[in-house]
């Protein structure tokens, strides 16, 4: 997975560039995993997990996998503004 660490510094190592993001999914997903949610918001996966643990973002668990609706991420961001 290609990242943009050289252009944006070490804090952006979880942000996907356009080419890598298009390789992750071909259609716009309505459900994201933790890594995809982090790339979508431009924050680290650890911060996403912290927000999930604090119940700041709605999510579901399927076995050990955590899934988050894109709608819930958008609601979280709009509530913060």
The tens digit of pLDDT for each residue in 55-81 reads 999 999 999 999 999 999 999 999 987
Q: Which residues contact 12 (CB under 8 A, 6 or more apart)?
A: 3, 4, 5, 42
Cα dihedral: 79, 58, 71, 46 (round 10): 90
Q: Quick one: which H or E segment has residue 67? A: strand 65-69
Enclosing domain of residue 31:
5-80
pLDDT tens-place string over residues 8-22 = 455 455 555 556 655
> Per-residue DSSP letters for 7-33?
HH-GGGTTPBPHHHHHHH-SS--SEE-
Angle at 19 between CA 13 and CA 21, to 5 degrees: 65
pLDDT the model gives residue 51: 96
The CATH number covering residue 72 comes to 1.10.10
pLDDT the model gives residue 3: 47
- Does this model's pTM top 0.75? no
pLDDT the model gives residue 30: 87
Number of compact structural domains in the chain: 1
């Amino acid at each position: 997975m290609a990242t943009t660490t050289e252009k944006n510094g070490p804090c952006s190592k979880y942000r996907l560039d356009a080419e890598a993001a298009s390789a992750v999914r071909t259609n716009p997903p309505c459900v994201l995993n933790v890594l995809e949610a982090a790339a979508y918001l431009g924050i680290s996966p650890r911060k996403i997990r912290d927000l999930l643990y604090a119940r700041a973002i709605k999510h579901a668990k399927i076995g050990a996998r955590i899934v988050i609706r894109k709608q819930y991420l958008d609601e979280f961001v709009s509530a913060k503004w």
